Structures are given as structure tokens and as C-alpha cells.
């Protein structure tokens, strides 16, 4: 009878531990989920390159960006909407992925590209001129696709698509 009571008294604790483990697993899955995406294209010398991008439209999401992520699909990116034309600066703090950063003017033309940025660096990466947005792609994407400054990004933010 004693062993039955002991096992019975641990049942609620065991159930609680199982619930905690399940909730922890759900939290980890949610943290790694990718936000909703929007279509974006880059027109470069007669060729169109299609991407799905997460759009960061507020200070909190722009501050977080791609921090702590360990991977990003090849045709995926992150578009930072600064909602006003200004000189901006980016950095790679807590960002594990090397990136290409495309600094974009209000008309959608690419002002500058910073290629193969250094993961985890706090080095400032300036826009070089006033821009309204920055598109982050996996490092090497712009070289592989031949994307250059002056090419055009097409997205609803720029009045296209």
C-alpha cells in the first residue's frame, strides 16, 4: 500500500513536468518560425529575381531583424521599411548569418550594396546616402545573380507590384 501511495503522490508532479516540457517545446518552435512574407522582385539587366521577404515596419522589429537566426532559405530576405528618407546604418550584432545588404532609394533603385557582411560584428554599415529601406539577403546572392547598384527593387513599398 505504501508504494501505491508514493507513486500516486508523484503523479501530479510528473504531469506538471510533462506539461512544462511540452510548453517549452512549443515556445522553441514559435521562436524559430518565420514571420509572414510578401513578394519582392529585383529587376537586373532584363532579368527578374523573385524573393519572399519579411517586412520590418516598426522600431521593435527593425531592431530585432535577423538576430539569433541560424539559417534563411535561399530566395528569402528581410526588408526594413524606415518609413522616411534618411541616412541609415546597420550592424550585425547577434546576427549569425553573413548577409548582402541592399540600401534602397524611395523609387526602388538600389543606392549601394554591402556584400558578405561579417556575422556578429558591431561595425557600422552606412547607407552612404539617404534611403527609405534596406533589403537583407543571404551573402553571395547579389554576386550570384549579378545584382548591382542602380538595379530596381519592386515591392508595394516602392509603388510597384
CATH class of 35-158: mainly beta
Phi-psi region at 45: left, alpha or beta (left = phi > 0; alpha = psi -120 to 50): left
Q: Where are the domains of the chain?
A: 1-33, 35-158
98-135 pLDDT per residue, tens: 999 999 999 999 999 999 999 999 999 999 999 999 99
* pTM of the complete model: 0.79
- H-state helical runs in the chain: 2-32, 59-64, 141-145
Distance CA 88, CA 105 (A): 11
CB neighbour burial string for 70-91, b if at least 16 within 10 angstroms, e if fewer: eebeeebbbbbbbeeeeebebe
Average pLDDT for 10-22: 44
Amino acid at each position: 500500500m505504501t508504494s501505491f501511495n508514493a507513486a500516486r503522490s508523484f503523479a501530479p508532479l510528473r504531469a506538471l513536468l510533462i506539461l512544462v516540457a511540452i510548453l517549452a517545446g512549443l515556445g522553441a518552435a514559435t521562436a524559430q518560425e518565420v514571420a509572414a512574407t510578401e513578394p519582392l522582385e529585383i529587376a537586373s539587366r532584363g532579368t527578374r529575381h523573385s524573393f519572399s521577404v519579411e517586412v520590418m515596419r516598426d522600431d521593435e522589429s527593425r531592431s530585432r531583424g535577423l538576430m539569433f537566426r541560424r539559417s534563411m532559405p535561399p530566395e528569402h530576405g528581410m526588408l526594413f521599411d524606415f518609413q522616411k528618407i534618411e541616412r541609415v546604418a546597420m550592424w550585425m550584432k547577434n546576427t549569425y548569418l553573413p548577409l548582402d545588404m541592399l540600401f534602397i532609394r524611395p523609387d526602388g533603385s538600389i543606392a549601394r550594396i554591402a556584400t558578405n557582411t561579417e556575422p556578429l560584428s558591431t561595425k557600422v554599415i552606412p547607407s552612404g546616402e539617404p534611403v527609405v529601406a534596406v533589403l537583407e539577403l543571404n551573402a553571395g546572392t547579389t554576386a550570384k545573380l549579378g545584382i548591382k547598384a542602380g538595379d530596381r527593387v519592386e515591392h508595394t513599398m516602392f509603388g510597384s507590384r
